[in-house]
């Protein structure tokens, strides 16, 4: 509230808040300008001013797509599908025990085992699948198998995180009812907990499969199999008509997998 000759005037904020806000904004803008300066220094502006010409040139070369190249793409598409699906299955097999160890109500030890499980979840989640693929190619050699393992490791964190949140949100009274019948630890798990998280589990699996289809299309860029290998080869030989065809195929794969996943999740939930 600020008073003037005609009485108090309504203001959104008082003077001190306004000043603090201005200062924070000033600091933010300064940081942004410094960042922009860094980017600008590292840029060859001559190329940037030439960009419209280059873009139209590339577009001219890339159209129309070379449809006959499609014959070479069916095997990579099959490989891509396998990387995503087998990777997702592998991830789920590994994620289920980790999720049970990480959930507060099922973990054997909150003090020792839960932090380890949470660490695995964070570590696998924060590193991109392309980096996992790079690492695995250095270790086990290029190919589809490296892609499957990369997708599997990358997906553990995501699946385990969503799954352990689902486990923590279960209805405890059902578990108690099963316990009251004298069930063993495993029987409680199978009859009390698993039926409650099954819909969430199926939803997570399909959701992650959709994301993995996206990711496996580009894994080939670093040599981990799938359609990305063809993309990389076409880019290296500047075969733009092939590049545009591959991009169209990837786009179609992404749209189809999203549609399938939405349908299946709609059916489950």
Partner 1 sequence: MSAYAKGETHRTLDDLLGTRWRRPPLVQRAWLRWVLLVGLVVYLVAAISTVEVNWSRVYEGLDRGGAFVMAFAQPDFVSRADAIWNGMVESIVMTVASSVVGILISIPIALGAARNIAPLPVYLVCRGIIAVSRALQEIIVAILLVAIFGFGPLAGFLTLSFATIGFLSKLLAEDIESMDRSQAEAVRATGARWSQCIEYGVKPQVIPRLIGLSIYRVDINFRESAILGLVGAGGIGATLNTAFDRYEYDTAAAILLIIIVIVMALEYLSGLIRARVQ
| Residues near partner 1 (CB under 8 A) | 28, 31-32, 35-36, 38-40, 42-44, 47-48, 51, 54-55, 58, 78-79, 81-82, 85-86, 122-123, 126-128, 130-131, 134-135, 138-141, 143-145, 148, 171, 174, 191, 195-196, 198-199, 202, 214-215, 217-218, 221-222, 235, 247, 250-251, 254-255
The residue (of 69 and 191) whose beta carbon lies closer to partner 1 is 191
Q: How far is the CB of 25 from partner 1 (least distance, A)?
A: 12
Q: How far is the CB of 4 from partner 1 (least distance, A)?
A: 21
Query: How would DSSP label each residue in 216-227?
Result: HHHHGGGTSSSH
Angle, vertex CA 197, rays to CA 83 and CA 132, nearest 5: 30
Label residues 40-74 b or e (16+ Cβ within 10 Å = b).
eeeeeeeeeeeeeeeeeeeeeebeebbeebeeebe
| Integer Cα distance of 27 and 35 in angstroms | 12
The residue (of 108 and 169) whose beta carbon lies closer to partner 1 is 169
Q: How far is the CB of 108 from partner 1 (least distance, A)?
A: 24
Query: In what helix (H) or strand (E) does residue 17 lie, and over which residues does it extend?
Result: helix 15-41
The residue (of 103 and 144) whose beta carbon lies closer to partner 1 is 144
Q: How far is the CB of 251 from partner 1 (least distance, A)?
A: 6
Phi and psi at 239, nearest 5°, equal -85, 75
DSSP-based three-state secondary structure for 228: helix
The residue (of 108 and 119) whose beta carbon lies closer to partner 1 is 119
The residue (of 50 and 108) whose beta carbon lies closer to partner 1 is 50
**Pairing state of beta strands 2-4 and 7-9?**
antiparallel
Q: How far is the CB of 265 from partner 1 (least distance, A)?
A: 14
């Amino acid at each position: 509230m600020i008073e003037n000759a005609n009485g108090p005037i309504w203001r959104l904020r008082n003077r001190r808040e306004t000043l603090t806000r201005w200062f924070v904004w000033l600091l933010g803008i300064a940081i942004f300008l410094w960042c922009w300066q860094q980017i600008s220094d590292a840029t060859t502006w001559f190329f940037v001013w030439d960009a419209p010409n280059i873009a139209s040139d590339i577009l001219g070369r890339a159209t129309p797509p070379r449809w006959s190249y499609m014959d070479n793409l069916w095997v990579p598409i099959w490989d891509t599908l396998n990387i995503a699906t087998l990777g997702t299955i592998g991830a789920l097999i590994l994620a289920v025990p980790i999720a049970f160890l990480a959930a507060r109500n099922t973990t054997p030890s909150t003090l020792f085992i839960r932090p380890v499980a949470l660490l695995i979840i964070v570590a696998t989640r924060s590193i991109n699948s392309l980096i996992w693929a790079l690492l695995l190619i250095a270790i086990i050699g290029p190919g589809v198998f490296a892609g499957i393992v990369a997708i599997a490791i990358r997906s553990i964190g995501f699946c385990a995180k969503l799954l352990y949140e689902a486990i923590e949100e279960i209805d405890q009274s059902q578990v108690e009812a099963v316990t009251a019948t004298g069930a063993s630890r495993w029987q409680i798990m199978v009859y009390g907990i698993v039926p409650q998280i099954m819909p969430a589990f199926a939803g997570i699996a399909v959701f992650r499969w959709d994301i993995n289809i996206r990711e496996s299309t580009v894994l080939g860029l670093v040599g981990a199999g799938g359609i990305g290998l063809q993309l990389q080869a076409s880019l290296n030989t500047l075969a733009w008509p092939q590049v545009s065809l591959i991009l169209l195929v990837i786009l179609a794969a992404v749209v189809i997998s999203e549609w399938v996943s939405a349908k299946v999740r709609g059916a489950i939930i």
